[in-house]
Amino acid sequence: MYTADPFLKYYEEFLELAAHDLGAPVRKLGVFTERLTSKYTDTGSSEEVKEYVGRIHSSLEELRALVNGMKEYSKLIPQAMNFTNCDTRELLERALVSHDKLLKTEGTKIEYDDDLPVVFGDETQLNVLFKAIIDNCIKFRKKNIQLIIKITVNEEDPSHYRFQITDNGIGLRDQQQERSFFPLKRIYGKTEYPGNGLGLACVKRVAENHGGTVFFEEGREEGASIIFIIPKNQ
């Protein structure tokens, strides 16, 4: 189970400030990159120039994705929450639709019950949680093997639900699991698996904002299983 890091508060404050301060420079870089692209990637430009401009554009897209991820993470605060009755089946299906094209292309198999519960929570933040978990399953799937994602929900106790999302992907070693919830902490290189290192950090923050917790099931021989436990009512 995830345990709080004493320096995490300072990391979160840094991310909020950095996301704000990096916004304007990234936008300016985008403008100048587009100008370079339109000017130097025509048929008269050398292949070398085209390659360099393409690399600049690619690096800017990575930076833009990182800043957007930091902004999203910084917005996941308790003060911004609006509690309503949230249908978790609807939230899950919304997350699946956002990856619909890739899921169909890869022939992914999704298994979940029709009667997923209604919880009292912030719909926007819970939507981020489900989307990030599904994104994590897809990102770390095994190559040339059909991805299978299973979602189950049980009562942890009379006042809490236990959601478990299991896949047959590459998984994590037990010693990597706690680190994976830390902001910007990448377990695998970005050349192998894309991402900004903030997806599971967002999951953790949303779960804790709802008075819950999130962790990986330990001791699995194959794939990964993320468990988050949240109250039925706030």
The CATH number of whichever domain residue 175 belongs to comes to: 3.30.565.10
Judgement on whether residues 106 and 203 belong to the same structural domain of the protein = yes
How many domains, in total, are found in the chain?
2
Phi, psi (rounded to 5 degrees) for 173: -70, 150
Judgement on whether residues 139 and 162 belong to the same structural domain of the protein = yes
Name the pairing type of β-strands 148-157 and 109-112. parallel
Judgement on whether residues 130 and 223 belong to the same structural domain of the protein = yes
- pTM of the entire predicted model: 0.74
Extract the tokens encoding 9.
């508060």
Judgement on whether residues 49 and 121 belong to the same structural domain of the protein = no
Judgement on whether residues 35 and 149 belong to the same structural domain of the protein = no
Judgement on whether residues 29 and 117 belong to the same structural domain of the protein = no
Task: Report how far residue 12's alpha carbon sits from residue 202's, in angstroms, rounded to the nearest whole number.
Answer: 11
Judgement on whether residues 107 and 34 belong to the same structural domain of the protein = no
How does pLDDT run along the chain (234 residues), one tens digit per residue? 434 445 556 556 666 666 666 777 777 777 877 777 777 666 566 777 777 777 787 777 777 777 777 777 777 778 778 899 999 999 999 998 888 877 777 778 889 988 899 999 999 999 999 999 998 888 888 888 888 999 999 998 899 999 999 999 887 776 677 777 777 766 666 666 666 678 888 899 999 999 999 998 887 778 889 999 999 886
Judgement on whether residues 29 and 43 belong to the same structural domain of the protein = yes
Task: Report how far residue 115's alpha carbon sits from residue 3's, in angstroms, rounded to the nearest whole number.
Answer: 31
Secondary structure letter of residue 80 according to DSSP: G
Task: Report how far residue 47's alpha carbon sits from residue 63's, in angstroms, rounded to the nearest whole number.
Answer: 24
Report if residue 3 sits inside a domain: no
Judgement on whether residues 62 and 89 belong to the same structural domain of the protein = no
Instruction: Answer whether 81's CB lies under 8 Å from 120's CB.
Output: no
Residue 178 structural domain:
80-231
Judgement on whether residues 12 and 111 belong to the same structural domain of the protein = no
